[in-house]
Amino acid sequence: MHVLTAKTKNGAKVCLADGYSRQTLQTWRSSEEFFCPVCGGKMMLKLGERKIFHFAHLKDACEESSFERESESHLSGKLALFDWLKTQGIQPAMEYYDPVIRQRPDIAFHFNGFRYAIEFQCSAIPEDLFMKRTNTYLSAGYIPLWIPEGSHLSRKQENTVALSGFEYLFLRTSPGNPGYIPYFCSSQGLFHIVQSIFPYSPSKAFARIETKKLNGLTIDRLIDPGPPALAVLPFWHDKLARSKLSIGANPKTPYMRFLKELYRAGMNIFLLPPEIGLPGTKAAAISTYPVIWQSYVVLDVLLGKGEGSVVTESEAAACLSLRAGKGDIRTRPVPLAAGFSLQEAAAEYLSLLSLAGVLVQKGDGVYEIRRKLDFPKTASEQIENESAFRKAFPASR
């Protein structure tokens, strides 16, 4: 593990981000010993021609840091973010080791009365380690700012991205933004703010990507980018159709249990009403196809009720919790995103059904069924229903 800070044998801290000259560092290297502030292990000061000046453990790196592999990208990214903060009048601390929580964020700083910890992540780490670090920061009063390296961002086509379960861990909310992931490309000095994220499969989502130069974005706009632009979803119905093919057209489909349950209810994956599989941002809390988990809400909550009956968010949330407990759907941890849960996903779906004219809201979390869902019997009926639905349901949100 390569780092930018070390301690001398008398306990003095040396931070290479402070811009020492090569001559000064060469003098220190010939007369001083350096040690890791975390594990106490001996370190070597490396002053190569091609790589950034850094300290390296003589033996194995600290256990907490042993997962970081892309050391050069990591070092250059930390340096760029460190200098970026300094230009805004902030006094950041590079690789500050907090002995109380025994963690060392890449950069720690205070801003507007709050204490922040930046973790610039170039390589994947285990989910449990991510959660442990995050929860430890939160319990100690830090606001963790996890920033993935820009190379992780995978654009599939315009307004479409591929997001792994690891990347969803970085999804965060702010007072002005309901969900975004801030990527930073250290080689180009660019932030890519991915927002308005509407998952349509376990690994793909519609999204808006706003790219900013490092000197064109301030820390307050990184912490709270503000309201995202409206998300236009012109290809949602095409993606929904492809999702149904992925689920039902493969003879070795892993979703046979779901398909059999539809069959027992007299339903067909390819002839579902267009109101099943609607786009929502809170779906990020569920890693299962939206068309599957929304089908369960319809099966368990709506199907047995007639027009004028009452439906509540609590019922829909209980349905999803039960289905998750049975393994019918899978949840996804989003520790930095406030308000992302099965309960919120259920509430958002009922709200979408009200936009579609199926429900009408009668109170806080309470809806009344305005009309029953129309299940087409043939492919031609399905096409007609889809066409009518596209004209009525808003394509942007």
pLDDT classification of 70: cutoffs 50, 70, 90:
very low
| 152 vs 30, higher pLDDT | 152
Instruction: Look at residue 272 and tell me whether its pLDDT is greater than 60.
Output: yes
Mean pLDDT of 346-362: 96
Instruction: Look at residue 384 and tell me whether its pLDDT is greater than 60.
Output: yes
| 107 vs 48, higher pLDDT | 107
Mean pLDDT of 194-216: 94
- Averaged pLDDT score across all residues of the chain: 90
The CA distances from residue 224 to 11, 76, 216, 315, 341, in Å, are 38, 24, 15, 33, 21
Least confident of 86-90, 91-95, 230-234, 375-379: 230-234
Instruction: Look at residue 294 and tell me whether its pLDDT is greater than 90.
Output: yes
Instruction: Look at residue 253 and tell me whether its pLDDT is greater than 70.
Output: yes
**Domain 68-223 CATH (choose: 3.90.550.10, 3.30.70.260, 2.60.40.10, 3.40.1350.10):** 3.40.1350.10
Residue extents of the structural domains in the chain: 1-66, 68-223, 236-392
Mean pLDDT of 290-298: 98
Instruction: Look at residue 394 and tell me whether its pLDDT is greater than 80.
Output: no
pTM for this structure?
0.86
pLDDT classification of 235: cutoffs 50, 70, 90:
confident
pLDDT in tens, 32-64: 888 887 777 888 888 877 777 878 877 765 655
- Looking at residue 396, what is its pLDDT? 54
Mean pLDDT of 176-199: 95
| 104 vs 292, higher pLDDT | 292
